[in-house]
Structure 1
Amino acid sequence: MRNIRGRATALLAVAAVALTACGDDSEPSADETSTEAPSEEPSDDPSTPEETTPAFSCPPELTDALPESLDPGTCWSHPDLERPALADGTVFALEPDASDPTTARHILALDAETGERLWKSEVLPGQVSALRATEVDGGPGVAVVVTEDNAGDAVTEASTAWGYLAWPADAGGDDGGNAGSEDPAFEAEEHITVAQGENPHTEVFWTDQGVLAGDFLLKPGATEFVPVNRDPEPMVVGAYDLDEFFAGVSGDLMISYVRGIAYEVSEDGDTYVGWLARTLDGAEAWNTVTSTPNEEDLLFAEGPNHTTILVGPYLLTIAATDENATAFEVTWLDAATHEPATPSAADLAGAQPVIADSGGLAAAGALLSPDGTRLFTGWSGGALILDVEAGTVTPVATDFTIQGSAIDDSTVFGATENGTLTVDLAGAEATAIEPPHESFDLVDDEVGVALLQGGVGETSYLVGGPRADG
């Protein structure tokens, strides 16, 4: 635990009584008191400052579970916070409201290095569907999508509405302080509401180029949601509807990956795979779907399995070219034109990739390093690291799917069925974290954050602080 040493200064009070010297210049007698304070002999004994404990220090019982590079003496903790996000040195999380812990929630902003509570939001107007660190008014901030009841003029027939609320990281300003119960709760800088529509959809798709909530899209910087057709007619071959795996929004298009079989085309059926882009009204803009005849008793017999990823304005396909998934082909497309593309690391920096379809390789998710140089994706039985500019794919040796949770420019932090681990992005080498230590859930420059889940009836903690490996 970290102890902050307070400085205690001893003040010496001297009472000086001025006595007259009977008008002469003689030295005071022994019976007289000098008006000069007596000199104090210096002491070699060190002072013992009062020791205090920071309000947010990690409890000793968490020491063994902390991520390895968090120092128990400098880490911070907060109990029972949920859904953390991290941006530019600020951690955002959901905090239950003491007056209504089952439904009411605040967003809390913390200093990522010290754990100091910077500000808290007003009570959110409904259940949280998504929370994400994002840009707000040109700077770092946090946004949340909630479902709102009876939200006024934006709602028809007392239905439920989607509400988008956003705060800049410095929402508290100089008056934020330690956001305790007596401190103000800050209103959102942006609050945009729209009716849910006929098909509310519980899943919110949040990409770099738009938030899709139900039947409505909010583009970056927009002041209102626009309607979209979330349920267009699927691609049909003969009597067969092809499966579509929706990835999200890129520019003015909704992007999906198509994969399916039509059995009427040939004796064993044909497999169809490829990207499909639709305009916001559901009309097809373009598709790259192609078919391959299946071999007897084999599905998807064209050989390669695919993982497909939306990365900002680009579409990425990684296809295994052998049975054991040890060699791969990498293809990039411009999402707007479906033309081949060769994005640089700078083109991708800051994007948050979204898996569209993992194919038979069962990808668990994708992470892009902040500098855009490497992309990590987990697969059944292993994981891959793509060097963006070299175009090379390196498998990570592991027996289990790696669930990547956090990434910086050199390391992935994650877990397998066997425990937590790190993966070196340059060498694709996985290193187990000695239990019971945990992996980071979020990293940003020299700080890290982890959510330590307690057992049933136990307290969970959000912990963080400076990283020894940062």
Structure 2
Amino acid sequence: MSVSPAGRAPVPYGIWHNVSRDDERAHVDREDPLDMSTTRGRIAALLAVAAVALTGCGDDSDPSASEPSTDAPSQAPSDDSTPEETGLESPCPPQLRESLPEGLRPDACWAHSDLERPVLADGIVFALEPDASDPTAARHVIALDAETGDRLWKSSVLPGPASGLRATEVGGDPGVAVVVTESDAGDALTEASAAWGYLAWPADAGGDDGGDAGSEDPAFEPEVHITAPQSELAATDVYWTDQGLLAGDQFLAPGAAEFTTVNRDPEPMVIGDYDLDERFAGVSGDLLLSYVKGVAWTPDGPENGSTHVGWLARSADGTEAWNTVTGTPNEEDSLFGEGPNQLTIIVGGYVLTVTPTDENYTTFELSWLDAATHEAVTPTPADLAGAEPAAAAADVMAGETGTLLSPDGTHLFASWSTLAVIVDIEAGTVTRVPTDFGIQGWAVDDTTVYGSTENGTLTIDLASGEATAIEPPHESFEMVDGEFGAAILEGAVGEPSYLVGGRRTS
């Protein structure tokens, strides 16, 4: 049965996976097809950095292309402001209780206004908070108890605009990381006048006493502080991956103490007089992976052209490591007249190709490759658990692509345009979700996808693919992590938005 719930129009996918809608709004480079947005249910996987292992998990995600709102409150709090004066309230206001995600108890949830880019991991919500002295520009990183909403600590003011917030592991414990940029003279991150900065805090940065709101807050400095020269690419061109952080043309590999330069603009594959279209997908191990689909025409006309399709792996310097690109003659009046329509996804150390086999897109074939060797494999849920999938391209239909992997690795959700499917990893089967609208997945647990369509919010059962509309004014969870959940409730024009959360009911 098709589902078309009524309600709020969704925010389009952006780069960020398994993070907040604000993170999805932060991405401005819309031409790169990597969609790290949807995938917002696997926030707590790890990104190894410096001497501590920070293994990137997996919105924002997404993740529209506009920047998150930095509207100032009507009156900036004074330096001796209280938590209430800074917009940090813990109990859930009565006016929000009818809009809460199903699964949050109105009498046992919390709400904080005007927080940005929240992520949830291991019982802690991390977010950006405007600074009282400069709410239009300056930001702190804050940590909140996911059950009570109590503030645990607040960082010092970030030295520049934030390109993305990420839950990570710092020194073996939960933590948070943020990439910032500073381009003014006298840069706060490095002696250079322009730089990337990677900053990270452990979840217990506030110590046993935590940190109070207002001027009494300790200014906790990051435990990880790594910088690199800012590349020519846009400051927001940041990719969090399972196996490292790619910021512009600088890559921070697991266990590395500094960024290294990678070649994001190598010589393209050429067939005759035609450059093939490479779509960068992300990083796996020490390889940069792209999906290739391009047509090499012949002088006799389009009907005699060949379409070349496959995966291409390059090392950091742009040297080709391997490719599976093959060419097939184009066929007029064929479903695959110019090569097969495919959805291609990186999942940890593997690449997945999903190919529809009929014109109605009801049956599909799956093909897995080991990303390091490009050999055919059949990964198990245990091989994939904890990974964050990243879509390389969606050729089945036009539109942004989103992917989510259940925490136990058993089900992969992928959506593009008006088509959404669930891959059963162990069974090797694909189930199409019966809905007439494009679905954006915000979060996932072991049984359920939480998301939205253009007409409202919904849940999808991973075992059956059944979509169920959430009756308005209720909303969908945007973050889930075990027993806790959270979401952003948007306010009317001129009114604050609220981050709400708490322990989920059974």
TM-score range, shorter chain: 0.7 to 0.9
Partner of 2:162: 128
2:306 to 263, 270, 295: 270
Cα 1:252/1:265, change in 2 over 3 Å: farther
Task: Give the TM-score normalised by structure 1.
Answer: 0.85
Task: Give 1:297 deviation, angstroms.
Answer: 6.6
Q: Given residue 447 of structure 1, which amino acid in structure 2 is its aligned partner?
A: F
1:161 to 195, 202, 217: 195
3-state SS of paired residue (1:246): strand
Distance, in Å, in 2 between the alignment partners of 1:449 and 1:364 is: 23
Q: How many equivalent pairs are there?
A: 414
Q: Which runs of 5+ in 1 are unaligned?
A: 1-53
Partner of 1:29: none
Q: Would the aligned equivalents of 1:303 and 1:323 in 2 still touch at CA under 8 Å?
A: no
Matched, 1:252 2:286: yes
Task: Give 1:296 deviation, angstroms.
Answer: 3.0
1:313 to 349, 373, 376: 349
Q: Given residue 370 of structure 1, which amino acid in structure 2 is its aligned partner?
A: P
Q: Deviations over 1:9-48 (max 9, x none)?
A: xxxxxxxxxxxxxxxxxxxxxxxxxxxxxxxxxxxxxxxx
Q: Would the aligned equivalents of 2:409 and 2:425 in 1 still touch at CA under 8 Å?
A: yes
C-alpha RMSD of matched pairs (Å): 1.8
Partner of 1:51: none
Q: Which one is further off, 257-266 or 280-289?
A: 257-266
Distance, in Å, in 1 between the alignment partners of 2:237 and 2:370 is: 26
Mapping for residues 130-209 of structure 1, pairs under 5 Å: 130-149=164-183, 150-151=186-187, 154=190, 156=192, 158=193, 160-200=194-234, 202-209=236-243
Q: Given residue 422 of structure 2, which amino acid in structure 1 is its aligned partner?
A: I
Matched, 1:326 2:345: no
Matched, 1:434 2:471: yes
Task: Give 1:148 deviation, angstroms.
Answer: 1.9
Distance, in Å, in 2 between the alignment partners of 1:246 and 1:364 is: 14
Task: Give 1:200 deviation, angstroms.
Answer: 4.7
Matched, 1:282 2:322: no
Distance, in Å, in 1 between the alignment partners of 2:285 and 2:357 is: 31
Task: Give 1:98 deviation, angstroms.
Answer: 0.8
Q: Would the aligned equivalents of 1:453 and 1:461 in 2 still touch at CA under 8 Å?
A: yes
Task: Give 1:201 deviation, angstroms.
Answer: 5.7
Q: Would the aligned equivalents of 1:106 and 1:120 in 2 still touch at CA under 8 Å?
A: yes
Q: Deviations over 1:126-153 (max 9, x none)?
A: 1111111122222221111111234379
2:487 to 450, 453, 457: 450
1:294 to 330, 350, 357: 330
Distance, in Å, in 2 between the alignment partners of 1:212 and 1:112 is: 29
Distance, in Å, in 1 between the alignment partners of 2:234 and 2:436 is: 39
3-state SS of paired residue (2:231): coil
3-state SS of paired residue (1:346): helix
Partner of 1:364: 401
Task: Give 1:374 deviation, angstroms.
Answer: 0.6
Partner of 2:67: none
1:425 to 442, 459, 462: 462
Q: Would the aligned equivalents of 1:257 and 1:275 in 2 still touch at CA under 8 Å?
A: yes
3-state SS of paired residue (2:298): coil
Task: Give 1:364 deviation, angstroms.
Answer: 2.8
3-state SS of paired residue (1:376): strand
Task: Give 1:178 deviation, angstroms.
Answer: 3.7
Task: Give 1:182 deviation, angstroms.
Answer: 1.0
3-state SS of paired residue (2:396): helix
Distance, in Å, in 2 between the alignment partners of 1:90 and 1:110 is: 6
Distance, in Å, in 2 between the alignment partners of 1:447 and 1:165 is: 26
Distance, in Å, in 1 between the alignment partners of 2:421 and 2:117 is: 27
Distance, in Å, in 2 between the alignment partners of 1:224 and 1:151 is: 18
Q: Would the aligned equivalents of 1:155 and 1:194 in 2 still touch at CA under 8 Å?
A: no
Q: Given residue 268 of structure 2, which amino acid in structure 1 is its aligned partner?
A: P
Q: Deviations over 1:205-224 (max 9, x none)?
A: 11010101111100123210
Q: Would the aligned equivalents of 1:83 and 1:93 in 2 still touch at CA under 8 Å?
A: yes
Matched, 1:354 2:390: yes
3-state SS of paired residue (2:97): helix
Distance, in Å, in 2 between the alignment partners of 1:123 and 1:311 is: 35
Q: Which runs of 5+ in 2 are unaligned?
A: 1-87
Distance, in Å, in 2 between the alignment partners of 1:148 and 1:399 is: 44
Cα 1:329/1:107, change in 2 over 3 Å: same
Task: Give 1:468 deviation, angstroms.
Answer: 1.5
Q: Given residue 503 of structure 2, which amino acid in structure 1 is its aligned partner?
A: P
Q: Given residue 176 of structure 2, which amino acid in structure 1 is its aligned partner?
A: V
Task: Give the TM-score normalised by structure 2.
Answer: 0.79
Q: Would the aligned equivalents of 1:118 and 1:179 in 2 still touch at CA under 8 Å?
A: no
Q: Would the aligned equivalents of 2:177 and 2:201 in 1 still touch at CA under 8 Å?
A: yes
Partner of 2:414: 377
Distance, in Å, in 2 between the alignment partners of 1:202 and 1:297 is: 42
Matched, 1:93 2:127: yes
